[in-house]
Structure 1
């Protein structure tokens, strides 16, 4: 397993798809877990599942990137010791999409291996990140995307894959597509961290002028165009559910009762 694995969790969104709710969407209770002191089941917040995935993969440090005002997240998780993690909290500065939130961590993740996921996406298997890291080690890819079969491509970045698993193209939330896999989690090495940092600097002026937000998938697609190697790992027997909408949140709650 690679040394110096760091987790990144973007938590700067406003949660508008679920609004109004009385807390940050990352803290919405979904399912139950044993209480750390007395063992009885107590509510488990949605982002804890992602933190546990990262901890199992060997991440010792995880950074949440927050929007100002979302102080309930550090208040809830604290330093992360109850999960066997060291948690850090960074504040989003540039409101041009998730990649710019992630780039707040640039000074903390240079030269390290990154595992990345969205805090409102539940997925299996439990060793998914470990499998991604193994795939990266075997292929020497700059990025490995964890891919799942999707029934509604309009909700996902779908991927066009070569027979050897190399990602040829990423298509952002197409209305219709014959492609059956969407990506939901990733790991990447220092080369992609450096590429993203420089690419975002180049794109910032255009995004400021247009008011458009950039997605992580668009940055990965730009990396493919520049010759970085992006591989995939498809979890055909796994599951993936974005609980950021009321409809899918109901599904998650029912499945985890």
Structure 2
């Protein structure tokens, strides 16, 4: 199983930093008997590994060599590789940069490296064989991609940063097969690669007869891409470890 992590963003909401935002220290980890700072992206990688990922593809910009230096070629049991997104062209473009290395039958996990969420095993709730989203309840869904579903968990619409969103459940990660990823990429190309957010692309996928499911298994979700979010993450982790 693959884990694809789009990490090419500029991080302008939390700058200035002297390093990539994905390496922002948030909480700590144990390294033998020593307690060390923990990069925010480690939380996502750990959750992907818990769900079965054995290969991690990090999509980075050309200026983010510090991420390569930090992670090297492996994290625990998972091998790590890197793909460069030449210019910042949005989330969809970043995710699809990993497509040439993924076979149609393989399962893929996708998440955002500047987030912290619980439960740690949340990705294990997503079924394989299609496209499924892990949902989290938030207070301000208009700041995220709110997912509207029916009673059976079928995705009806993803409302991208929309005021008055009809759902307080937002996606924090998703799972899909390589074949579905290829189909979404073909649709992305057909639409002139204009989709910045995955939500608008999935909405078109649904409109054309495609399907997606959503699981409301998330409990807490924090976007660490802002100073306010950083403070929220520290509080969340304090509660989880306290």
SS at match of 1:164: coil
**Distance apart, 1:191 and its partner CA:** 3.1
Which structure 2 segments of 5+ residues have no match?
none
Structure number with higher helix proportion? 1
The separation in 2 between residues aligned to 1:165 and 1:156, in whole angstroms, is 19
**Cα distance, 1:203–1:94 mapped onto 2, change above 3 Å:** farther
The question of 1:151 aligning with 2:132 is answered no
The residue that corresponds to 1:19 in the other structure is 15
Decide which of 33, 39, 48 is 1:45's aligned counterpart. 39
The separation in 2 between residues aligned to 1:217 and 1:164, in whole angstroms, is 20
Which structure 1 segments of 5+ residues have no match?
208-212
SS at match of 1:254: helix
The question of 1:34 aligning with 2:15 is answered no
The question of 1:57 aligning with 2:51 is answered yes
Q: Give the TM-score taking structure 2 as reference length.
A: 0.93
The residue that corresponds to 1:71 in the other structure is 65
**Distance apart, 1:94 and its partner CA:** 5.4
Alignment: residue pair count: 237
The residue that corresponds to 1:87 in the other structure is 80
Q: Give the TM-score taking structure 1 as reference length.
A: 0.87
The separation in 2 between residues aligned to 1:131 and 1:14, in whole angstroms, is 31
Q: Which consecutive segments of 4 or more residues in structure 1 shift more than 6 A?
A: none
The separation in 2 between residues aligned to 1:15 and 1:88, in whole angstroms, is 21
Tell me if the contact between 1:159 and 1:167 (Cα under 8 Å) persists in the aligned partners. yes
| 1:96-131 deviations in Å (ceiling 9; x for gaps) | 311111111111113111001000111111111111
**Distance apart, 1:204 and its partner CA:** 2.9
Aligned counterparts, 1:154-165, within 5 A: 154-165=142-153
